[in-house]
Structure 1
Amino acid sequence: MSGSKPRYPLADFKVGVDNVIFSVDTDQNRLLVLLVMRQQEPYRDCWCLPGTLVRQGESLEDAAYRILAEKIRVKNLYLEQLYTFGEVGRDPREAPNSYGTRYLSVSYFALVRFPEAELIADRVSGIAWYPLKQVPQLAFDHNRILEYGHRRLCNKLEYSPVAFDVLPESFTLSDLYQLYATVLGENFSDYSNFRTKLLKLGFLSDTGEKVSKGAGRPASLYRFDAEAFAPFKNKPLVFI
């Protein structure tokens, strides 16, 4: 029939999960990302984000946690689905006419504290934390995924309590400030305004305990009060 649109076959997909795993090194004021070196083609011997193809009977989130467990040991972390990347030709294994197998990447981002994250090198010859500003050209479209993940992380810190999933149960306001300053840059807020605003929101509870760090006065330890935060949940809220 003249004028009718051509009919294309349905795409056959393989689904992968790629993790953007950030760690915060507050001692050296560095935001790091975990990279691994590919052991097979395509992009053999190139750095990339930790990833995997999803197994039969496995959920996307389970695949993301599996990758985390294979690469690092950590007690406190934050994990969230980031975005789905599925542009035609994003993976060299796709057929030139794109009518063969397509490769989707459902990306996740995670945040951990550097001192608490132990790398697991089993079966991996290349695995390393890279400062965000020194990341090389990565395999596939992983530089784009990393950039997207970094923007999401900054937004999450500004508008949600993600930092408290990463910090220990008890922490000082200085610990919290250093985490924010490492990710967002030291010019995001001065410590005094940061402290005043966070305490005014009312969901940080003073434990009554203090800790000594250096030669200064002992600092109070706080806890995140999830019950006090509940009324703010799902409402626009600026933390900083």
Structure 2
Amino acid sequence: MADFKVGVDNVIFSVDTVQNRLLVLLVMRQQEPFLNHWSLPGTLVRPGESLEDAAYRIMAEKIKVNNLYLEQLYTFGGPNRDPREAIDSYGVRYLSVSYFALVRFEEAELIADRMTGIAWYPVKQVPQLAFDHNEILAYGHRRLRNKLEYSPVAFEVLPEMFTLNDLYQLYATVLGDNFSDYSNFRARLLKLGFFMRYRN
């Protein structure tokens, strides 16, 4: 019977509204396996630590931000997702409970202490990542797009005062080519109840 080690990996998204790019935070691994490979920020869960606390700890170690949205994404536990499983004679399995976060790009300050590599990458230009992190990122990207369809999650990364065009640009950046035209956008938001229609 296998023992399990549980890690938490965060898919931290942000939207560069100036250049209309959806970004994800990547870190360079400082140890084997996958030494000097880009990966999602992650950690093993400490004894007595909850999964959510571990996810927030990753955030606090990598980025300073006042406003963020964080939710649990999925548990990845396929066999051989971690090469350490093949060399461990005791049958240890490594599970990853992933979270996805959305932060405001303009206020997010990356923490470079003890890190030789930490960077925002455009989602469309992400290289091959360590472990199964490309799969985790793709899953997180789908979740983010789906959340925009029915929830006001976008408001988490916009300033307190914003225009309808600001919101439209954010939706268009995240949803890409599948996004509806501007005229349908306002009606769609009203239907979802994100805005109220005012009459003079």
Verify the 8 A CA contact 1:88 1:98 in the aligned structure 2. Answer: no
2:30 to 39, 48, 73: 39
Aligned length: 198
Aligned twin of 1:102: 93
Verify the 8 A CA contact 1:76 1:167 in the aligned structure 2. Answer: no
1:69 to 40, 48, 60: 60
| Partner Cα separation in structure 2 for residue 166 and residue 85 of structure 1 | 27
Can you list the C-alpha shifts for 1:93-133, whole angstroms capped at 9, x where unaligned? 11458852110000011112221211110111100111111
Aligned twin of 1:128: 119
Aligned twin of 2:13: 22
Q: CA deviation at 1:168?
A: 2.7
Q: % of aligned pairs identical? A: 83
SS at match of 2:53: helix
Distance verdict in 2 for CA 1:135–1:201, change over 3 Å: closer
- TM-score under structure 2 normalisation? 0.92
- Say which one has the larger Rg: 1
SS at match of 2:130: coil
Tell me, yes or no, if structure 1 residue 116 matches structure 2 residue 107.
Answer: yes
Verify the 8 A CA contact 2:77 2:96 in the aligned structure 1. Answer: yes
Distance verdict in 2 for CA 1:16–1:97, change over 3 Å: closer
| Partner Cα separation in structure 2 for residue 13 and residue 84 of structure 1 | 13
Aligned twin of 2:175: 184
| Partner Cα separation in structure 1 for residue 197 and residue 159 of structure 2 | 14
| Partner Cα separation in structure 2 for residue 185 and residue 55 of structure 1 | 38
Aligned twin of 2:47: 56
Distance verdict in 2 for CA 1:97–1:67, change over 3 Å: closer
| Partner Cα separation in structure 2 for residue 115 and residue 80 of structure 1 | 21
Give the CA RMSD over aligned residues: 1.9
Q: CA deviation at 1:204?
A: 2.4
User: What are structure 1's unaligned runs of at least 5 residues?
Assistant: 1-9, 208-240
Verify the 8 A CA contact 2:11 2:140 in the aligned structure 1. Answer: yes
| Partner Cα separation in structure 2 for residue 159 and residue 56 of structure 1 | 37
* Range that drifts further, 123-132 or 162-171: 162-171
Q: CA deviation at 1:170?
A: 3.1
User: What are structure 2's unaligned runs of at least 5 residues?
Assistant: none
| Partner Cα separation in structure 1 for residue 88 and residue 7 of structure 2 | 21
| Partner Cα separation in structure 2 for residue 17 and residue 41 of structure 1 | 17
